[in-house]
Amino acid sequence: MADFDLSIDEKRVYADKSGKKTAYVAASVGVVSVDVSDDLVGGFRIDHQCDPRDIAGSPGEVAIATAEDVLLLQNDDYHELDFGPATTVGFHQNRVVAAAETGRIARFDDEGWTDIGTAEGVRTIDGSLVAADDGVYRIADGELTHVGLPDVADISDPAGRLGGAEGTAYAAAESGLYRLGNGWMSEFEDSASVVAAMPDGRAHAVSPAGVVSLEDGAWVADPIPLDETVIGVAHDARTTYAVTDSGSLCLRTTESDWRTQVLGLDTVGIAVR
């Protein structure tokens, strides 16, 4: 049973605060916090030493899958959730979902962990969707249902993540970018490695040509000003964040161009809350 507050109302109040924000980068040294104000990048520091394998954000919280356990960051505290070693982490209806090397997938709430099912080679979790070696699964009624689409590298399900009704689910796959409607519907045919979307319709993906964004229903080039490959994207209410394979942080607001900051880290991913 959780011995700390999991109130969604508390999380949303935290997320609505304005002013200075913090982006959390999972890197080989641990979780690195980066101060951000609008489109300006400030200082950064090691916030928590660990061996992170994945990172995900939800309003007021950040979850980290590590080689030892799943961690949940609330306020300034990192809570161990007693899951054991984890490879992947995400949020389903504002609750942490994690996967282990064994394929075990479970959801954390006030009563602790509840197993959802198993899948081999879980690659990413977001909202109601889980991408594994044999395709994508949907979380429904506490179980996993296979919904197809092979070779998926990343998924984004904003409605399932936040427990709302708004937002389109996407999958980035070797064969292209897809949205989930009446089955998987092609958005473009270039291979895609990263995708991130929000309930308000903002979405970014990464193809071999670089970053693309969804503008008025069309995917258009939105390149970062660096000759580096983006490996992770996250959004908050106004800002898009990206980290690269060379350890740089990039960000832009809805009203600005990309700004960059070299972190010099071996990065795994990025999250905001």
The domains located in the chain, with CATH, are 21-272 (2.120.10.30)
Distance set, CA 88 to CA 65, 106, 131, 210, 254 (Å):
6, 11, 10, 24, 29
Q: If pLDDT is split at 50, 70 and 90, which confidence band does 103 have?
A: very high
The pLDDT of residue 10: 39
Higher confidence at residue 13 or residue 105?
105
Q: What is the mean pLDDT of the chain?
A: 93
The pLDDT of residue 5: 62
- For residue 116, the surrounding DSSP H or E stretch is strand 112-118
The pLDDT of residue 14: 36
- Rounded Cα distance, 242 and 21, in Å: 15
The pLDDT of residue 37: 86
For residue range 194-207, list pLDDT tens digits in order.
Answer: 999 999 999 999 99
